[in-house]
Chain A
């Protein structure tokens, strides 16, 4: 049933609807064991619902999903024994201390009291949380809470770890710590499926990325390929005169191709670059016809720009920052 050669995750036509909203609308995934797989998409794209189905919390409406070779519906208990989930919102008990949280999980998973305590100390030490171990989690900083959350997922080392937006809301230093942890986990043989809204995060960590929009996979592949399809960078310009916007957009399109993106602010334009060298040429073109700029920058493509490149429309946040799964 679950020989070691089966993929970590395999879904075919996975679907879930809430009322009229098709949260997940036919997702096919194949995740190799021992890899980091990124689900990239805006709020409300269906990432969380997908993870919750794979982690046996939500029953799919259609399609099939096998995790480590076992069916998430028919063999849910077997799946639960081999996975861990770190949800989008701290899945630790805020009223308890760090130690109590880990001992609680250790006891639930079958460690004796003494073993659970030893395991908790070992995990807290490894995650740099020994000093805060006795404090209630509600007094933890965001980064510490996230590390405890991940430690709680490792009380029994899982074969597959789900991380739902592991760094959303973290400061850059905490984010880097979480990234280090994820890389180390995978080096030690755990498979990781992570969801993120940040292209940079997916690019930094994931071996392969699936870009999700409106419950569908709109692009899938190794992160390098995916990034190449978006272009190597983006030129952002800010115009002195909003009236110049149409003229400037035309000039940028002539020089750099069709990937000109305009958002709500009429002064701001972005354009995808196949080659970073085009940036200087494009700026020179604008100067030559007298379009004045107050600011410009060259950057990594943002999620918006990835979406624009892949779909021709900007990413719309369906969920305005709220969790995807309705009550």
Chain B
């Protein structure tokens, strides 16, 4: 785009905008976080394609696995989708957490974070706000997967209650786990490295799990891994929520992973962020 107006900045205009207006009183930390959340939403609005990157794989897997293996694994595609869809939801949100780190890393690489760091705001606000905005991303991608599921015949027994419960749990999980990628974003140089490393973390977590098949037929060592895999624990809890058989212990088990990750990674991320290089 070229600069169409030849109008130079005039002294009168500038004098007017520079006139010492009322200096606004600094807002609180929560207000800062909400503002950064708004910024994250604007990014989703301007670049919806980022959302599609994350959703295409799960949607493809859902459709493919349902018809390819549904009959063999569960007797019919219709029976299999009841089993598969909660797993796909967990997978989708897990993949979406990558973008928290990805966008943060591109932000840091550009000058805009310097500006945020040079204005008087609650210091963690840019990071915490971005994570808060990402919950909208988790919710949107979960809803898209749910719609595909409904089209393919997914009918959760617990109905709307089960779905809302699952969405809340998915968001808590997403926010908690994304601290890993926030730390990664602060250490690694480029967004594409964040991406590659994140896939390396997430691939084993999502495939060596109970998303696609019941782990009963896996070798013992793999079953042992699945039993403690936070993604698998999340899948179990979501299946229970969707079928109306949720137990407190399953939900708590699903939250242990994100809680531990947050306890370890959040302080590290904040220390890295505050570091004045």
List A residues at the B interface (Cβ < 8 Å).
52, 55-59, 77, 80-81, 83-85, 87-96, 100, 104-105, 107-111, 115, 122-123, 125-128, 131-132, 135-136, 139-141, 143-144, 147, 152, 154, 156-157, 174, 177, 180-181, 184-185, 187-190, 325-327
Residue total for B at the interface (Cβ-Cβ under 8 A): 49
Interface: B219 (CB within 8 A): no
B204: shortest Cβ distance to chain A, in Å? 29
Q: Are A110 and B27 in contact, CB atoms less than 8 angstroms apart?
A: yes
A307: shortest Cβ distance to chain B, in Å? 28
Q: Are A143 and B3 in contact, CB atoms less than 8 angstroms apart?
A: yes
Complex A-B: 11 CB contacts under 8 Å: A52-B114, A56-B276, A85-B115, A92-B111, A108-B121, A110-B25, A128-B5, A156-B23, A157-B17, A190-B18, A325-B277
Q: Are A109 and B26 in contact, CB atoms less than 8 angstroms apart?
A: yes
Interface readout for B1-13 with A: 1 if CB under 8 Å, 0 if not?
1111101111101
B221: shortest Cβ distance to chain A, in Å? 39
A204 to B32, CA, bound (A): 39
B5: chain A residues at CB < 8 Å are: 128, 131
Dominant secondary structure of chain A at its interface with chain B: loop
Q: Are A141 and B3 in contact, CB atoms less than 8 angstroms apart?
A: yes
Select B9's contact among A89, A122, A147, beta carbons within 8 Å: A147
Q: Are A128 and B8 in contact, CB atoms less than 8 angstroms apart?
A: yes
Q: Are A141 and B1 in contact, CB atoms less than 8 angstroms apart?
A: yes
| A89-B111 contact, Cβ under 8 Å, with A56-B118, A80-B118, A131-B4 | yes
Select B119's contact among A87, A109, A177, A184, beta carbons within 8 Å: A109
Interface readout for B233-276 with A: 1 if CB under 8 Å, 0 if not?
00000000000000000000000000000000000000000001
Q: Are B1 and A157 in contact, CB atoms less than 8 angstroms apart?
A: no
List B residues at the A interface (Cβ < 8 Å).
1-5, 7-11, 13-21, 23-27, 31-32, 35, 38-39, 42-43, 46-47, 107, 110-112, 114-121, 125, 189, 276-277
A135 to B47, CA, bound (A): 14
A66 to B24, CA, bound (A): 24
Q: Are B32 and A108 in contact, CB atoms less than 8 angstroms apart?
A: yes
Residue of A52, A95, A126 ringed by the most chain B CB atoms within 10 A: A95
A156: chain B residues at CB < 8 Å are: 23-24
Q: Are B24 and A110 in contact, CB atoms less than 8 angstroms apart?
A: yes
Q: Are A126 and B13 in contact, CB atoms less than 8 angstroms apart?
A: yes
Select A110's contact among B20, B26, B39, B116, beta carbons within 8 Å: B26
